[in-house]
Amino acid sequence: MTDSASSGRKSAKKVYYPSNHFSQRACIKSFSEYQKLYSSSIRNPEKFWKAQASILNWFKPFTAVFQQKKKPFCKWFAGGKLNASYNCIDRHIALRGDKKAIIWQGEPEEDVKVLTYTELLQEVCKFAHVLRKFGVRKGDRVCIYLPMIPEIAISMLACARIGAIHAVVFGGFSAQALAKRINDSGAKLLVTADGSFRRGKIVELKEAADEALLQCKHVKRVVVVKRAGNKIRMKRGRDVWWHQEMEKKGVGNFIEPILMDAEDTLFLLYTSGTTGMPKGMEHTTGGYLVYAALTMKYIFDLREEDVYFCTADIGWITGHSYIVYGPLCNGATVVMYEGAPDAPDPGRFWKIVEKFKVSIFYTAPTVIRALAKEGEQWPRGHELSSLRLLGTVGEPINPESWRWYFNNIGKGKCPIVDTWWQTETGGILISPLPGAVPLKPGSATVPFFGIEPEILREDGKKAKAGEGGYLAIKKPWPGIARTIWKNPKRYVETYFSKFNGKYLTGDGAMVDEDGYYWITGRIDDVIKVSGHRIGTAEVESALVSYPGVAEAAVVPVPHPIKGEAIYAFVVLKKGKIGDDELKLKLIEHVKKEIGAIAKPEAIQFAEGLPKTRSGKIMRRVLKAIASGSAEVGDVSTMADAGVVEELKNGASFVQG
């Protein structure tokens, strides 16, 4: 071992302790304080959650903390009545009416809007009136297909106010993907925008919505926000403008929040799984909100004067829990940004931090890698001294990126919270508490209060320290999704059947001798491309739907910026020729079927796919071939071992 390698090894093992300065003012000030509270949360969860539920205002107290009559289904805070929009807005008005709730930065620098809590209340109430007028009632689904503009938060909270269930669809999804989600949710009203700005160009959202709606006959009303001013078609009798509806007679500045049961559904959010159609994860009003609010407060160590900036899109769970519900429930000031991280240049996020004096910054490893590649001059060119805490989410963070983030953005003084969680979990399950838990770069560290993770072997027995295995969670917590919309059977099978009622995360992980968790990534057929969750089955069925394609298999390959990229093996029907032109056509087709986030980085045409004798595609073998590994492992169960050599010879390069 050379000197530099050994010092590299040492620094890789370096533990970063919270500074006294940070710990003294933090919610949780020491590791022993964390341990004490953690063990009481595990020893007596009902007592713990009963006390913590007071983070919300309840119109009527709950009668039971936790109920599980039919495992694995569960209820939290049953009998309790509350309203999410009341908790996120109304209750702050007395003390924080003039406090900024949302600071919105459009992609064009001059486009800035600020909404105080009082103004937010007014906008939310007005839009709730509009929804009511169009016949939206408690339990109805409203689909929201909007860019990162204040109206996305306003419409979510307006739904919550009148008990409608929102289903936000990420603006980067295609018309086809939107149509699938609208139809599954049964939404009868859609909120969208004419367009939005990304890298100076207009994203034509309304056009995509129009195309989707050709397949969604039960959507009777479309409310369109004027954002980009691009020319669009308005369908008479169906489409109305947001700004016109908001000014109509009868649209008052206030509307009573309705009483929701703790277990009433607050929203659906679609996420990709191993097979088939994306799953509409159902989150509740009481448990979800308690969990989002509490994790926000402790993990981001929230203070009254903080300015909090999360770069996620609200179309994903991160935006739901940590741009809208978590921060607003705590009365925080949230910065929201419309555009791309590199528009007009790779200093954009740092410019936003400087401009609004952001104190907490939360982003994804892929963003850090992409911006680090651009060089240190970008952060150096901006005043970042307002920052006091950094966060990351979406995929494992490699230690080099962690250190780049720590040194160049946090200037060595801001703790980094590496937060592990999922759409299904509602909120963060494993993360440091920044004033209490020493950090190890690349580890999400320790479980949050009330969370009992386990690393399991194939046979369900617990793995030893240092031994990798399936990451499972032993018992339910308030934020867990209660079911899959219209598909409780799939919920049980996907998450609870493998390990006897324990929640299966789909991730692999390891615990070290200090009890720190190291997440190694998905061990099912889910790919994390730039932190976005893509189901291999969805991409495969998109490929197979193209004329001339007989079969397709999709696997992840490591990618320096995206973390993972999509590599597709495509078998064509007899007589079809696989050339570069067809590759481009297939990529275009996947974009059309799902969205640009799902496009394959590389396509390899193949004569056949490696299969077991029972006909199952051997993804393990394909993964090895795609990443150029000479060793494909044991192929003794393969039906036709000759396929491997042919595939190896045809391996294509992944463009960086």
**Site residues, ligand WT7 (CB under 6 A):** 271, 316-318, 393-396, 418-423, 444, 505-507, 519, 521-522, 528, 533
Q: Count the Cβ atoms, other than its own, within 10 Å of residue 32.
A: 10
Q: How far apart are CA 348 and CA 371, in angstroms?
A: 10
Query: In this complex, which beta carbon is closest to ligand WT7, that of residue 507 or of residue 593?
Result: 507
- Give yes or no for a contact between 287 and 274, defined as CB atoms under 8 angstroms apart: no
Query: In this complex, which beta carbon is closest to ligand WT7, that of residue 147 or of residue 426?
Result: 426
CB of 296 to ligand WT7, least distance (A): 14
Question: Helical H runs in 80-172?
Answer: 84-85, 91-96, 117-133, 150-162
CB of 120 to ligand WT7, least distance (A): 24
> For residue 480, with 0-12 CB atoms within 10 Å meaning exposed, 13-18 middle and 19 or more buried, which class applies?
buried
Query: In this complex, which beta carbon is closest to ligand WT7, that of residue 242 or of residue 291?
Result: 291
CB of 405 to ligand WT7, least distance (A): 13
CB of 567 to ligand WT7, least distance (A): 18
- Give yes or no for a contact between 154 and 129, defined as CB atoms under 8 angstroms apart: no
Query: In this complex, which beta carbon is closest to ligand WT7, that of residue 92 or of residue 528?
Result: 528
CB of 420 to ligand WT7, least distance (A): 4
Token pair 């018992």 is found at 475
Query: In this complex, which beta carbon is closest to ligand WT7, that of residue 416 or of residue 647?
Result: 416
- Give yes or no for a contact between 643 and 624, defined as CB atoms under 8 angstroms apart: no
CB of 526 to ligand WT7, least distance (A): 7
CB of 365 to ligand WT7, least distance (A): 8
Query: In this complex, which beta carbon is closest to ligand WT7, that of residue 404 or of residue 546?
Result: 404
Q: How far apart are CA 577 and CA 364, in angstroms?
A: 40
Query: In this complex, which beta carbon is closest to ligand WT7, that of residue 77 or of residue 420?
Result: 420
Helix (H, G, I), strand (E, B) or coil at 423: helix
CB of 312 to ligand WT7, least distance (A): 7
Structural tokens at position 503: 């929640």
Q: How far apart are CA 132 and CA 250, in angstroms?
A: 11
CA dist 340 to 171, 371, 594, 654, Å?
Answer: 13, 12, 20, 24
Token pair 């409310």 is found at 223
Q: Count the Cβ atoms, other than its own, within 10 Å of residue 488.
A: 15
Query: In this complex, which beta carbon is closest to ligand WT7, that of residue 531 or of residue 610?
Result: 531
Helix (H, G, I), strand (E, B) or coil at 76: strand
Query: In this complex, which beta carbon is closest to ligand WT7, that of residue 162 or of residue 566?
Result: 566
CB of 69 to ligand WT7, least distance (A): 28
Enumerate residues 6+ apart whose C-beta is below 8 A from 195. Answer: 147, 202, 203, 204, 205, 206, 227, 228, 229, 230, 232
